Amino acid sequence: MSTAGPPFDTQEFSRWRAAAGDAAETAHLLARADRHSDACFHAEQAAQLGLKALLHGLGLPAWGHDLIDLGRRCAAEFGQSWPAELDRALVELSRYYIPTPYSDAHPGGTPAENYGTEDAEAACRHAGTVLDAVSDAWVSLLEGGG
């Protein structure tokens, strides 16, 4: 970790991480209800909230909505201990931020017509990967291994 050190803001981390968990649960519920575009959007939101939880917990700015940028900021803090495989998950999830809720982001049809089961399942998986990494990083920090 490059800059932040104890004490960490556990309350702020927990608040944001709980919101991330709620968004991930919503994504799973929507996927099971065949609301695929909505599931993809909520999976992206879960990852965004999770990364922001980690940054807030470190006392760092957590502004913006760009998953790739948020991930880079987390990686800058954790260096080698930040999982490289997250890059792919963040790239995939970032595709869902704007087009999933807006019909005008597609050449035709509604968002619901442009996303399917595979999209929703992949988005939920990627969100889980991100949230697992966030939780692991936080535990590592609290144990002094950051």
Query: What's the mean pLDDT in 38-50?
Result: 98
- Please tell me the pTM assigned to this model: 0.92
99: preceding bond cis by omega (within 30 degrees): no
pLDDT band at 4 (very low <50, low <70, confident <90, very high): very low
According to the model, what pLDDT value does residue 3 have? 47
Entry field: residues in the chain: 146
What domains, with CATH codes, occur in the chain?
10-142 (1.20.120.330)
User: Mean pLDDT, to the nearest integer, of 96-106?
Assistant: 92
In whole angstroms, give the CA distance from residue 66 to residue 40.
15
Band (134; pLDDT cuts 50, 70, 90) = very high
Contact 1, 79 (CB under 8 A): yes
pLDDT at 146: 56
- DSSP code of residue 65: -
| pLDDT tens figures, 47-94 | 999 999 999 999 999 999 999 999 999 999 888 778 888 999 999 999
